[in-house]
Amino acid sequence: MVSTTVLDRFADYLRVELRLSQQTVETYLRECVGAEVYAKDRSLELSLLTTADVIDYLLHRQHADAPLDHRTVAKGLSALRSFFQFCVLEGLRPDNPATTISSPRGEHRLPGVLSVEEVERLLEQIDLASPGGVRDRALFELIYSCGLRISEAVDLELYNLYLDEGLVLVRGKGDRERLVPLGEEAARWVQRYLAEARPCLVKVASERAVFVNRLGGRLSRKGMWKRFHELTRAVGIEAKVHTLRHSFATHLLEGGADLRAVQELLGHADIGTTQIYTHIDTEDLRAYHQQYHPRGGAADREDSSV
């Protein structure tokens, strides 16, 4: 088996050199351990697998008792590419056998999106009678107003808020930072939370997290998920916290925002990721075609033939 020392050094490489998040590091290591077990069962060495071996492993994963979707298999391939690249840098092998393997592609799926009315109904459902309720209103207003990932909301600290300027400094994937405008409504709720609710929740003055739990510590991802699930269940809406981010992007584009501007606001490294929000339903496409195309099919259009 690949020694623990090599995997430890690989983990350090992911954190320090590639600057990946701890969650991604753990995912990559888990994928490598799975490939290592597969290799050991076939008397192979993980660090010495060939391209054919890697393909066989991915096929094995895709057609196992619990088949994986294309995104999970692609993530496994990405992890192995990084591991073998690390092996090359360490002098453990001369090449990367995973670079010539194309990632599997599956059916493109659009993200779930709430209407503006549904977002308002959801936020208005929050009970403001307790400090936790005011916190939740500020939290979800902020996520929707700024298009934050849940991890970005968890990591926010007081020095990241520039309320006088109406800006939030967000640390996204790969530790990339971006400044995001804070809408007036979200700013109002954040200010109320900081003035009225957070002082009731915080136990020690040194706590720098913006959003804290009832014990005074940083509110966790799990805590945010739980509160949002309670809200959606009460309102009768099916959504996840991340749906607010999808809705943020979709509502901006529907309002006429530039795609590249939305890319910057979301913190996407690739504009192709942002383009998933440019969905227009079939009826809209048909209406646009009929209205603007010279042969769109308008029955009452004057016949210009001679």
Asked if CATH classification 1.20.1050.10 holds for the domain at 116-292, the reply, yes or no, is no
Whole-number Å distance between alpha carbons of 156 and 42: 46
Neighbours of 184 (CB within 10 A): 9
Q: For CATH 1.10.150, list the domain ranges present in the chain.
A: 6-90
Q: What are phi and psi of 232, to 5 degrees?
A: -65, -35
Residue in the structure block whose two tokens are 């959801």: 122
Q: Decide if 156 contacts 168 (C-beta within 8 A).
A: yes
pLDDT, residue 301, reads 42
Locate 15 and state its tokens: 């954190």
Total residue count of the chain as it appears in this document: 306
CA gap 223, 26 in Å, rounded = 21
Q: CA 26 from chain center: how many Å?
A: 16
Q: What is the CATH number of domain 6-90?
A: 1.10.150
- How far apart (Å, rounded) are the C-alpha atoms in residues 45 and 40? 7
Just list the catalytic residues: 149, 173, 242, 245, 268, 277
Residue ranges, CATH 1.10.443.10, the chain: 116-292
- pLDDT reported for residue 272: 72
Question: Residue 281: its pLDDT value, please?
Answer: 43
Q: Residue-wise pLDDT tens for the chain (306 aa)?
A: 555 578 889 999 998 888 888 888 898 999 999 899 999 999 999 989 999 999 888 888 777 655 566 677 778 888 899 999 999 999 999 999 998 887 665 544 456 788 999 999 999 999 999 999 999 999 999 999 999 999 999 999 999 999 999 999 999 887 889 999 998 999 999 999 999 999 999 999 999 999 999 999 999 999 999 999 999 999 899 899 999 999 998 888 888 888 888 888 888 877 777 777 765 444 454 555 566 566 655 544 444 333
pLDDT at residue number 304: 37
DSSP helix/strand/coil, 42: coil
